[in-house]
Amino acid sequence: MTCAEAKQLPILEVCDKLGAKRAFVSVSKGYALFHAPYREDRHPSLKLCLKTNRWTDLATGQFGDVIDLVKETMTMTTSAALAFLAGGVTPCKPFAPIKNRKSLAD
């Protein structure tokens, strides 16, 4: 899968694949709110723009496309994120905030 192909994947489906918790979706208004899957997020602050297929973290100011979201959530390289999006990589479960993740050495 190329970067251009990955950027065409619906960001809503990518968030679901990442295990992000939905809070609000309004297709007619063109956006959705999720709890950020890459950090502790008590109040939904991950805003998805369904029209541009991009995301913004309203609490931290981070933003990007579907590749950036996978890289941030899974802490992986672009090539690994592309493999994940193509279905070649399965996510670890559950998606705990980074501070609660165990290192590979544990």
Q: Residues in the chain with pLDDT < 70?
A: 88-106
Q: Is the dihedral of CA 85, 91, 96, 98 positive or negative?
A: negative
Give which of 8, 11, 7 is closest to 55, Cα–Cα: 11
| 82 phi/psi in degrees, rounded to 5 | -65, -40
- 57 pairs with which residues across the strands? 46
Q: What is the pLDDT of residue 28?
A: 87
65-to-11, 15, 72 alpha-carbon distances in Å: 8, 11, 11
Write the pLDDT tens digit of every residue in 7-31: 999 999 999 899 999 999 998 899 9
